[in-house]
């Protein structure tokens, strides 16, 4: 039986940490003018056919890249399962990935991007597999740091499903590292997050990580 996500989980907006973004035309024009000033100061000639619209496109692109703040109306259903606890409760993992994501580092406003693997062990509720991708996108299409994205995905999945456990692996390349600073081109930053049974059971962690490596 599908249940209403909004009823099931008290305060969906809080769990997903949504913002109400409403920008008036006037405000948007101001943002575009500010962007134009920055681009000009950096040396970009905004008086060519190719660049005259760049400030407008830039602001629009930023809004699209951060639309995770607006939420996702399609992230709506959780389903009940048969699991009611006790000896019949099977600790089998549901693992989804690689889920590709793009995010903006909140320190430099430059992109970082990579893949997420999300795993959980269902108890009384499950969620549609595609919704795991939507959940990752909600938290990655924002200004973020990799560590917090992981916490948010793991915590929200725990809050929504109350599963036996949640596992998460994030692998990303940070443009603020590659394009500036130490200019290391290829390092990949990996973070793992464990909740519930994964916290205490090393075999479950191994199983999860082995499944993540098996990318084909």
Nearest approach in angstroms of CB 168 to Zn ion is: 20
Asked if 95 contacts 117 with a C-beta cutoff of 8 angstroms, the reply is yes
| Residue with the shortest CB distance to Zn ion | 176
Q: Which is nearer to Zn ion, 98 or 181 (CB)?
A: 181
Q: Which is nearer to Zn ion, 12 or 177 (CB)?
A: 177
Asked if 120 contacts 155 with a C-beta cutoff of 8 angstroms, the reply is no
- What single DSSP character describes residue 150? H
Angle formed by the axes of helices 54-65 and 25-42, nearest 10°: 110
In sequence order, which residues have a C-beta less than 8 Å from that of residue 191 and are 6 or more positions away? 146, 147, 150, 169, 170
Q: Which is nearer to Zn ion, 50 or 182 (CB)?
A: 182
Q: Which is nearer to Zn ion, 120 or 208 (CB)?
A: 120
Nearest approach in angstroms of CB 196 to Zn ion is: 11
CA–CA separation, 46 and 60 (whole Å): 17
Q: Which is nearer to Zn ion, 4 or 106 (CB)?
A: 106
Asked if 96 contacts 129 with a C-beta cutoff of 8 angstroms, the reply is yes
Nearest approach in angstroms of CB 184 to Zn ion is: 13
Nearest approach in angstroms of CB 90 to Zn ion is: 8
Nearest approach in angstroms of CB 89 to Zn ion is: 4
Listed in sequence order, the DSSP H helices in 12-80 are 12-16, 25-42, 54-65
Binding site for Zn ion (CB under 5 A): 83, 89, 105, 107-108, 123, 176
């Amino acid at each position: 039986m599908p249940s209403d996500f909004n009823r099931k989980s008290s305060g969906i907006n809080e769990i997903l940490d949504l913002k109400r973004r409403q920008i008036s035309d006037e405000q948007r024009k101001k943002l575009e003018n500010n962007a134009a000033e920055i681009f000009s100061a950096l040396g970009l000639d905004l008086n060519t056919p190719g660049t005259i619209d760049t400030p407008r496109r830039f602001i629009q692109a930023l809004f699209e890249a951060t639309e995770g703040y607006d939420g996702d109306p399609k992230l709506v259903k959780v389903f009940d399962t048969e699991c009611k606890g006790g000896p019949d409760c099977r600790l089998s993992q549901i693992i989804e990935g690689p889920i590709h994501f793009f995010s903006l580092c909140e320190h430099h406003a430059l992109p970082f991007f990579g893949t997420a693997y999300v795993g959980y062990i269902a108890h009384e509720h499950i969620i549609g597999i595609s919704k795991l991708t939507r959940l990752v996108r909600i938290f990655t299409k924002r200004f973020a740091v990799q560590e917090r994205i992981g916490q948010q995905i793991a915590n929200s999945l725990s809050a929504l499903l109350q599963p036996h456990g949640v596992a998460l692996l994030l692998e990303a390349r940070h443009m603020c590292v590659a394009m500036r600073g130490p200019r290391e081109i290829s390092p990949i930053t990996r973070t793992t997050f464990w909740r519930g049974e994964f916290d205490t059971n090393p075999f479950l962690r191994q199983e999860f990580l082995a499944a993540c490596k098996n990318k084909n």
